[in-house]
């Protein structure tokens, strides 16, 4: 064994459907667990954790204290947006409750998240930026709408299931490649380095 990586989603969380509300002391208990692991494993083995790029969840991580114990932190700079944003007033400032489409990865929000965690006293050389090899799919409320202010259906995903994933709202990298090859329109917006593709056959 080279080391251990922990992914607790999420200490102190109160709002995850189907999961009982967490204890507000979970974050400190997590630190104590990491310290115990370090004591038992020594410096020869690596210890890493996954941490959310969302302030809502990161606020319950004593992240500066954790950074002193772990070798690195895998920062989950993906799934920044998704089906859970349906009618959420927090998804996009200025568009409260309108369920506007947002990419689940975004350069602008990634940079903001990195600023947040480094301001919380986590050294940048301990941060590994997480990337995803999948995408999120949505069905728009108006088929002809293809821009960033389009709204999507919900609360459950009604997007076409992927041929590989077989799941509404989740598409694999292979499925994304297929969409890009067959898309009726595509382009890159300068803001946030976002690429968008549309399929007007659905």
Q: Does the annotation count 9 as an active-site position?
A: yes
Residue 75 CB-density burial (10 A; 0-12 exposed, 13-18 middle, 19+ buried):
buried
In this prediction, residue 44 carries a pLDDT of 93
CA distance 117 to 197: 32
pLDDT for 195: 66
Strands 127-129 and 72-76: parallel
Confidence of residue 92 (pLDDT cuts 50, 70, 90): low
- Out of 9, 32, 65, 139, the active site residue is 9
Residue range 5-43, pLDDT digits in tens: 999 999 988 777 777 777 889 999 999 999 999 999 999
């Amino acid at each position: 064994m080279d080391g251990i990586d922990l992914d607790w989603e999420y200490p102190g969380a109160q709002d995850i459907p189907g999961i009982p509300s967490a204890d507000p002391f979970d974050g400190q208990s997590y630190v104590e667990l990491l310290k115990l692991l370090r004591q038992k494993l020594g410096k020869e083995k690596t210890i890493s954790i996954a941490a959310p790029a969302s302030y809502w969840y990161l606020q319950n991580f004593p992240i500066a204290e954790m950074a002193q114990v772990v070798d690195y932190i895998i920062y989950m700079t993906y799934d920044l947006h998704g089906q859970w944003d349906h009618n959420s007033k927090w998804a996009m400032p200025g568009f409260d409750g309108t369920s506007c489409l947002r990419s689940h990865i975004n350069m602008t929000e990634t940079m903001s998240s990195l600023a947040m965690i480094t301001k919380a006293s986590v050294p940048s050389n301990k941060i590994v930026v997480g990337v995803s090899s999948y995408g999120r799919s949505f069905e728009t409320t108006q088929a002809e709408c293809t821009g960033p202010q389009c709204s999507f259906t919900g609360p459950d995903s009604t997007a076409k299931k992927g041929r590989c994933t077989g799941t509404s709202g989740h598409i694999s990298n292979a499925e994304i490649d297929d969409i890009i090859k067959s898309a009726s329109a595509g382009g890159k917006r300068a803001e946030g380095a976002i690429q968008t593709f549309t399929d007007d056959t659905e």
